[in-house]
Amino acid sequence: MQRVFGQLVLLVLLSELSCNQSIVHERAVLTDSVKVEFLHAWNAYKQYAWGHDALKPLSKQPHDWYGTSLCMTPVDAFDVILLMGFSKEAAKAKKLILDNLSFDKDIEVQAFEITIRLLAGLLSAYQMDGDRGFLRLAEELGKRLLPIYNSRTGMPYRYVNLQTGKIRDSINNPAEIGTAMLEFGTLSKLTGNPIYYEKAKNALVQLYNRRSMIGLVGTWINVETGEWVNKTSHIGGAIDSYYEYLIKAWLLFGDKECKEMWNESIKAINIYLADTTHGGLWYCQADMDTGKRTGTFFGSLEAFFPAVLCLSGDIERAAKLQESCYKMWNLHGIEPEQIDYASMKATDKRYYLRPEIIESAYYLYHFTEDPKYLQMGKRFFKDIVKYCKTEAGYAYLRDVTTKEQADGMESFFFAETLKYLYLLFAPKETLPFENVIFTTEAHPIRRVKNNK
Ligand code: DMJ
């Protein structure tokens, strides 16, 4: 009897071992495949758009956001090139950036996009590569962005002319107001100049102070008067990374006020925006003053939230929400930009090569080690390759139902989508999770210990 039992235990152990070995093998294969696809996209950028902001993958033409290049793709992609171990490619990208990138340009730029893609990219490049040229560029950019904070409330304007400092657009949203603290804060820590941290933090506090009586924020606010001009509350685009940065600023800098602001905010979000009435967990739109539900839309941008919930320790809710996100992905075999979760119909049929759902799978896998998140990641990767791959890189989809491709490949496809896929499959030591905080554009910033 004892012998039979012993044999059974041995069998179970052996089958577990072989299962683990096959997971390890599958992960190694997937890691290599992501690298291959990365090179496919990167080589196309090099061939058709080298030195420009981005590649238009169908017409094989370069694209510059403001008519002159700010090296968007190489800066955004630099850290992932290093992570993947492509040292020759990294050297080429570095030379391109350090020899050519200048911010002394008479162009009006959207501060948020420039902050999350370029400032963050330069800071992580500096931390990973060590060349002070990256930090010099980051500081030059930081200085040129500072005029955005010259409003009566201290909340930023949306656009600034990099040469003249002229600002415009006083109607701004929480995401664009609040998503600077990691980048500006890190710039302060690295340069020793506190101004960046102070300005970004003040903007965050000013916004938080204008939350409603029930603790929600709206979508648009006038940064001169401090009055809300659109009171729809949600966790999607235009608000999303405001919440993300409250908790991450706490974790990165140990800023207790940010922790308190996060704690208060998440309570209100879970009371008024969480919705379990349509099967599964979703987050809705509601009026910021009354909490009354005004919409049941959810989309690819909202899919960042399981990752943030993981960071806050709410794995249960994170896992439930990720199940909903996965349903959304599987509706048409690839993720629509937005659905109405009450009817489960796509209301915006584009797929922009976005990373959020993959980012959440990566966080959930880190915190639970449940192999189902690896399988999800594999599904995402296979579908992206199947529908978005083109001769010259990757193209976003105009319509997830027809899979019609469109002529764009955003730099976040390198910086985030492929990076999170890679990190999900690669061995943990590739980038130990506890050592960094990822900015909203997935740029890893080194974490100072003992912030908890
Ligand atoms: C990225 O630029 C950032 O993740 C931003 O916070 C939201 N949108 C894109 C990716 O979808």
Q: What is the pLDDT of residue 65?
A: 98
Does the beta carbon of 440 sit less than 6 angstroms from any atom of ligand 1?
yes
Question: Is 60 exceeded by the pLDDT of residue 6?
Answer: yes
**Residue 425, domain CATH:** 1.50.10.10
Q: What's the mean per-residue pLDDT of the chain? A: 96
Tell me the pTM: 0.96
298/321 Cα distance (integer angstroms): 11
263, 285, 315: which is the final residue of a domain? Answer: 263
Residue nearest to atom 1 of ligand 1 (CA): 441
Contact 54, 411 (CB under 8 A): yes
* Residue 357 located in a structural domain: yes
* Residue 451 located in a structural domain: no
How confident is residue 22, by pLDDT bands cut at 50, 70 and 90?
confident
CA 441 to centroid of ligand 1, rounded, Å: 6
Mean pLDDT of 178-192: 98
How confident is residue 432, by pLDDT bands cut at 50, 70 and 90?
very high
Mean pLDDT of 169-187: 98
Q: What is the pLDDT of residue 452?
A: 39
Give the closest residue to 385 by CA, choosing from 410, 407, 412, 417: 417
Shortest-distance atom of ligand 1 to CA 356: 11
Contact 162, 104 (CB under 8 A): yes
- How many domains, the chain? 2
From 416, 417, 419, give the residue whose CB has the most ligand 1 atoms within 8 Å, as the site to mutate: 416
Structural domain including 403 reads: 27-69+296-441
Counting beta carbons within 10 angstroms of the beta carbon of residue 293, is it exposed (0 to 12), middle (13 to 18) or buried (19 or more)?
middle
* Residue 82 located in a structural domain: no
CA 117 to centroid of ligand 1, rounded, Å: 9
Residues with a catalytic annotation lie at 113, 240, 337, 356
Mean pLDDT of 113-126: 99
How confident is residue 149, by pLDDT bands cut at 50, 70 and 90?
very high
Residue 114 and residue 32 in one domain: no
Residue nearest to atom 11 of ligand 1 (CA): 354
Degrees (nearest 5) of the Cα angle 437, 441, 443? 45
448/248 Cα distance (integer angstroms): 12
* Residue 126 located in a structural domain: yes
Alpha carbons within 13 A on the beta-carbon side of 145: 30
Residue 344 and residue 402 in one domain: yes
Mean pLDDT of 133-153: 98
Shortest-distance atom of ligand 1 to CA 442: 4
129/89 Cα distance (integer angstroms): 13
263, 282, 315: which is the final residue of a domain? Answer: 263
From 115, 419, 441, 443, give the residue whose CB has the most ligand 1 atoms within 8 Å, as the site to mutate: 441
* Residue 399 located in a structural domain: yes
Does the beta carbon of 337 sit less than 6 angstroms from any atom of ligand 1?
no
The model's pLDDT over 338-370, given as tens digits with 9 standing for 90+, comes to 999 999 999 999 999 999 999 999 999 999 999
* Residue 381 located in a structural domain: yes
Q: What is the pLDDT of residue 7?
A: 75
The DSSP result for 245-297, as a single string, is HHHHHHHHH--HHHHHHHHHHHHHIIIIIEE-TTSS-EE-EEETTT--EEE-E
Own/partner contacts of 20-23, CB < 8 Å, gap of 24 or more, are 23/371, 23/374
CA 1 to centroid of ligand 1, rounded, Å: 60
Strands 61-63 and 167-168: unpaired
CA 381 to centroid of ligand 1, rounded, Å: 18
Say which amino acid occupies 17.
Answer: L
The model's pLDDT over 370-411, given as tens digits with 9 standing for 90+, comes to 999 999 999 999 999 999 999 999 999 999 999 999 999 999
User: How distant, in Å, are the alpha carbons of 100, 195, 289, 298, 316 from that of 145?
Assistant: 19, 12, 33, 32, 39
Counting beta carbons within 10 angstroms of the beta carbon of residue 3, is it exposed (0 to 12), middle (13 to 18) or buried (19 or more)?
exposed
Q: What is the pLDDT of residue 12?
A: 64
418/274 Cα distance (integer angstroms): 29
How confident is residue 81, by pLDDT bands cut at 50, 70 and 90?
very high
Question: Is 70 exceeded by the pLDDT of residue 267?
Answer: yes
Does the beta carbon of 441 sit less than 6 angstroms from any atom of ligand 1?
yes
CA 42 to centroid of ligand 1, rounded, Å: 19
Q: What is the pLDDT of residue 236?
A: 98
Q: What is the pLDDT of residue 417?
A: 99
Does the beta carbon of 354 sit less than 6 angstroms from any atom of ligand 1?
yes
Q: What is the pLDDT of residue 13?
A: 65
Say which amino acid occupies 186.
Answer: T
Give the closest residue to 359 by CA, choosing from 320, 314, 316, 412: 412
